Amino acid sequence: MRILGVDPGTRVVGYGLVDRGEAGFTYVECGVIRLAESDPMPARLLTLAGELSAIIHEYRPAVVALETAFHGVNASSALKLGQARGAVMLIAAQHQLELAEYAPALVKRAVVGHGRATKQEVQIRIQRLCRLSREPTSDAADALALALCHAQLGGRVDLSARTARRPR
């Protein structure tokens, strides 16, 4: 099964693709979609939708892995991120793709081994796991981490009730 991880944003959107098979996973591709800051938000979301649709047409994933909304950011940032997440969800639905959402700490734990990993730790671990010649950008690494989290956990556990905290 091919998995597309997407790290949404309003300026830079990371994407990463892996194939999950019986023997584990295989790296396919990763990169970023850059959205012009000078464009109004509707134009940025349209660009995001078009670029993501092109990636889906080219690579034909079966599922999109996305981070759940997180708290602790200011209201304006949360609203903008929510708009980008909504655009990703819409494109997934238009292409009839399954959508899986994972808490940020769960993604970090699945990839790095603990839920408080730094961006740098995620990048280094993704580079090693995917056998990349160089460290991916933080946005592409986060997207690959989402795809790998789904490759490890998707369909095998009920994540809707699972929290990012460790058992006491």
Report the catalytic residues: 7, 67, 139
Cα–Cα distance for residue pair 118/60, rounded to 1 Å: 31
What tokens were used for 5?
């991880």
Cα–Cα distance for residue pair 120/135, rounded to 1 Å: 9
- Going by C-beta distance under 8 Å and a sequence separation of 6 or more, which residues neighbour residue 154? 3, 20, 63, 65, 100
Cα–Cα distance for residue pair 106/97, rounded to 1 Å: 22
18 close to 27: Cβ distance less than 8 angstroms = yes
AA identity, residue 71: H
Q: What angle do CA 94, 153, 99 make, to 5 degrees?
A: 10
